[in-house]
């Protein structure tokens, strides 16, 4: 199985919850899967790697390479703190973690054009790691534009988009009910929905993702 990235159309779309669900699902299959967060801002209290580890019930299920306190883009947060973060070290750290796991799941930071460091953006890291991507998108009004632009940006960098996951899907509006089919026609990749509106505890993410997404999102084309 090949490692992959989970990227979002924006911040707050549910990348971490979907990543936790996918990592937990893979670990439930007996694979040493690991969620990899290149940089965490807003720490504390935000701790995406911690959430993934808690969802999987194992602190080895996730790792974070850089942590910054300001809840800003990594490049901006580092500037505010008066520290420097190295793109080469972040990339090398991701590659190291990918090499030691059966399957690595690299979670993005915000959207693709978020400044990472040294003039590099999240999309640069995704392209340099040469991994397929799962795109997490909002379900409601406005998601068509954001999702199509995200997929286009990835494909322009020769990143294979494995699937789009429309998160927090409630079918409450006409826009929500029609968006998945419209997105699929627009971008030409499989679109799936997950009704992750709220979780009682992190572990619920694993069941929700496993129950609503096909195994092809993990890189397996055949159901079993």
Known binding positions for substrate: 41
- In degrees, rounded to 5, the angle at the alpha carbon of residue 84 between the alpha carbons of residues 33 and 101 is 10
Pairing of strands 120-121, 115-117: antiparallel
| Residues 101/75, Cβ–Cβ less than 8 Å | no
Cα pseudo-dihedral 35, 39, 41, 44, rounded to 10: 60
**Which member of 33, 36, 37, 39 is catalytic?**
37
- Give the count of beta carbons closer than 10 Å to the beta carbon of residue 188: 10
**Distance of alpha carbon 92 from alpha carbon 129, whole angstroms:** 9
Pairwise CA distance, residues 187 & 168, whole Å? 20
Query: 3-state SS of 75-113?
Result: HHHHHHHCCCCCHHHHHHHHHHHHHHCCEEEEECCCCCC
Instruction: Please give the annotated binding residues, written as ranges.
Output: 12-17, 41, 48, 107-110, 167-168, 195-197
Is 37 in the active site? yes
Active-site annotation, residues: 37
């Amino acid at each position: 199985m090949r490692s992959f990235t989970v990227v979002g159309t924006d911040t707050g779309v549910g990348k971490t919850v979907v990543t936790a669900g996918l990592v937990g699902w893979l670990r439930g299959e007996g694979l040493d899967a690991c969620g990899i967060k290149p940089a965490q801002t807003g720490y504390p209290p935000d701790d995406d790697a911690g959430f993934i580890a808690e969802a999987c019930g194992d602190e080895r299920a996730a790792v974070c390479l850089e942590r910054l306190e300001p809840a800003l883009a990594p490049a901006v947060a580092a500037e505010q703190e008066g520290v420097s973060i190295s793109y080469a070290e972040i990339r090398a750290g991701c590659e190291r973690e990918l090499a030691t796991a059966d399957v690595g799941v690299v979670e993005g930071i915000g959207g693709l054009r978020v400044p990472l460091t040294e003039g590099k953006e999240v999309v640069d890291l995704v392209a340099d790691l040469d991994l397929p991507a799962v795109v997490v998108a909002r379900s409601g009004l406005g998601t068509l534009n954001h999702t199509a632009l995200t997929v286009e940006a990835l494909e322009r960098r020769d990143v294979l988009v494995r699937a789009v996951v429309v998160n927090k899907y409630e079918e409450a509006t006409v826009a929500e009910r029609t968006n998945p089919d419209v997105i699929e026609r627009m971008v030409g990749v499989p679109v799936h929905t997950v009704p992750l509106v709220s979780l009682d505890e992190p572990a619920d993410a694993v069941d929700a993702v496993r129950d609503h997404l096909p195994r092809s999102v993990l890189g397996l084309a055949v159901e079993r």
